[in-house]
Every structure is written in C-alpha cells, then in structure tokens.
C-alpha cells in the first residue's frame, strides 16, 4: 500500500514531532473492518500519539443513545480535565483522566477516533473535545452503534460489563481452563465477550481456519491439542494483525481474511471457501482444511 505521511507537533512529554501515517486515500485513521481487538489496539496508539496531556476546554456531544450516562455528567467530568494514559479491555478503549476516572469507548461497527487541527467537525462526530492548544479529538460513529461510558476504574468496568479475560493477556493454561465444562459451538464460545474479550467474527473465523477446526465443532469435543493449537494461533494472529495496523507489516496471504469470498480457492489446501451461518453470523471456512469435531 502507498502511504502519505504528515508530521504534527505534540506536547513536550512526547517526542517533539511525531510522524503519523495516512492511507492511500489520504484519509486519516480510516476504519474498514468492524473494530475487534487489533483495531482497538490501533485506536489506542492513535490516541496516545495525539491526545494525551492536553487540557480539554470545550465538550461537544451528539446523539443521546451514544452516551451511557447523562450528558451533563460527561461534560462535568471531561471539561478542564485531560487524558494521561490509556488501556484496553477487549473491544473497549479506556482513557484515563487526570482528575477523575476513565472515559470508555466502544466503537460499534463504524466508530473511530479522529484528531484534527481545523475548525470543521466531521458530520458524524458524536463527541468532540477541544484542547487548550486548539487541537480537537472526535469520536466519529456514522451508524451510531458505538457507546461512550464513564467509569471509576478498569476493574469496575470489567465487572459491570461482565467481560472475560483480554484475549492477548490470557495464559495457555487459563485458556484451557475456560473450556472446562464448556458446551456448544466453539465459534459461539469465542465470540462471547464474557468468555474471552476482544474477538469478533473476523478473527474467530481466522483462528479456527488456522487451527483446522470447523466452526460448527462442539467445545466439549476439543482435545487438549486442539485447545493448545487454537491458543497459539490466536496469539499469533492477533499479534500479526495488530502489527499490520500499527507498523504497516503485510498480512500473510495464507490468512483467510484475504479470501473471504464463497467459492474462492483455499489459500492453504485445494478446497474452496464456503459460507454458512453459525450463531446468526456469516462464517467462512474451508471444508477440506477444517474438521468438524
């Protein structure tokens, strides 16, 4: 992919100048897939690079449904405050505030963060924070499926939302333990954010494809070897895709995500890619590579 680059100035607590990457359309921070763990990891780096340690002097808010607390509470919490760090739990980005708690972002299907230094605010901006130096940070969410929360701590938020372990922080032993007594479709299990946080349709399909496991396989039929293979592939896939988004590394052509078209040749074997519904979700797999258990 051809990239354009732009250099912006940031506070002294960071490098004096940071090089930011634009995609080949010249649109900053373009979001293509529904945000899962790697996409949110990219958004985290983006906010860390643009919007920490800037005093918020104005708060503009959009659709009521986005805000999970009264708008007046958001304004009171954010105004004259500043972000000092960030963390991630699955598909949620938690921005730590200097004075009080965290702003939490769930990106829905089309959400993204957008930092800019001009006056015009994007049409679909649901929250825009104006900083003391004139810069602005917007949460842009055209389809309005995203959500914004306020919380006192990551632990409090995790408990309230009933989130499972963050997918890149769980150990192999704990991953095995998750499946003790688990029944039903393995795909449905991996998609459940209370079971493991951060995985969605795209990367669950990828994990099962790389592991040679049919998406309709039953969790109770998986062997210890199957679970170890799934765990190792999960870690490798999430790391590879995150680096692709943050560093521009190419995604291997052997990944299913490059071939998610029914009837397309499997990138590993001689089979064809098929599409079925599992748990109401479009599911891509290769019947030659992936064995139903």
User: Burial of 189 by CB count in 10 Å (0-12 exposed, 13-18 middle, 19+ buried)?
Assistant: buried
Given a contact cutoff of 8 angstroms between Cβ atoms, the answer to whether 251 and 240 are in contact is: yes
Q: 172-286 — its CATH code?
A: 1.10.8.50
Tens of pLDDT along the chain (293 residues) come to 223 233 333 333 332 333 344 333 233 344 345 799 999 999 999 999 999 999 999 999 999 999 999 999 999 999 999 999 999 999 999 999 999 899 999 999 999 999 999 988 888 999 999 999 999 999 999 999 999 999 999 999 999 999 999 999 999 999 999 999 999 999 999 999 999 999 999 999 999 999 999 999 999 999 999 999 999 999 999 999 999 988 888 999 999 999 999 999 999 988 999 999 999 999 999 989 999 99
pLDDT tens digits, 87-119:
999 999 999 999 989 999 999 999 999 999 998
86, 163 contact by CB (below 8 A): no
What pLDDT is stored for residue 33 in this prediction?
59
- pLDDT tens sequence across 61-83: 999 999 999 999 999 999 999 99
Per DSSP, the residues of 42-54 read: HHHHHHHHHSTT-
State the CATH architecture for 4-161: Alpha-Beta Barrel (3.20)
All structural domains of the chain with their residue ranges? 4-161, 172-286
Same fold: 4-161 with 172-286: no
User: What integer pLDDT is reported at residue 5 of this predicted model?
Assistant: 30
Confirm whether pTM is higher than 0.85. yes
Nearest to 133 by CA among 51, 65, 206, 64: 51
């Amino acid at each position: 992919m051809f990239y354009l680059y732009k250099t912006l100035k940031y506070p002294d607590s960071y490098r004096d100048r940071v090089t930011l990457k634009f995609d080949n359309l010249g649109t900053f921070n373009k979001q293509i897939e529904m945000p899962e763990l790697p996409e949110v990891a990219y958004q985290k780096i983006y906010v860390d690079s643009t919007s920490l340690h800037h005093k918020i002097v104005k708060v503009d808010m959009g659709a009521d449904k986005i805000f999970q607390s009264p708008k007046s509470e958001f304004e009171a919490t954010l105004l004259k405050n500043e972000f000092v760090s960030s963390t991630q739990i699955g598909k949620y980005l938690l921005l730590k505030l200097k004075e009080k708690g965290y702003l939490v972002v769930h990106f829905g299907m089309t959400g993204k963060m957008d930092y800019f230094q001009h006056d015009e605010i994007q049409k679909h901006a649901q929250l825009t924070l104006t900083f003391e130096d004139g810069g602005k940070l917007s949460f842009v969410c055209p389809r309005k499926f995203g959500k914004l929360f306020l919380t006192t701590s990551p632990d409090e938020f995790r408990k309230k939302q009933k989130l499972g372990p963050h997918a890149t922080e769980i150990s192999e032993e704990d991953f095995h333990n998750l499946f003790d007594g688990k029944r039903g479709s393995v795909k449905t299990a991996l998609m459940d954010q209370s079971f493991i946080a951060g995985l969605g349709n795209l990367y669950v399909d990828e994990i099962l494809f790389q592991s040679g496991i049919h998406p309709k396989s039953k969790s109770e039929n998986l062997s210890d070897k199957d679970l170890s293979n799934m765990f190792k592939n999960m870690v490798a896939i999430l790391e590879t895709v995150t680096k692709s988004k943050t560093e521009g590394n190419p995604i291997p052509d052997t990944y299913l995500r490059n071939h998610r078209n029914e009837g397309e040749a499997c990138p590993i074997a001689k089979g064809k890619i098929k599409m079925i519904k599992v748990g109401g979700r479009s599911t891509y797999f290769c019947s030659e590579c992936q064995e139903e258990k």
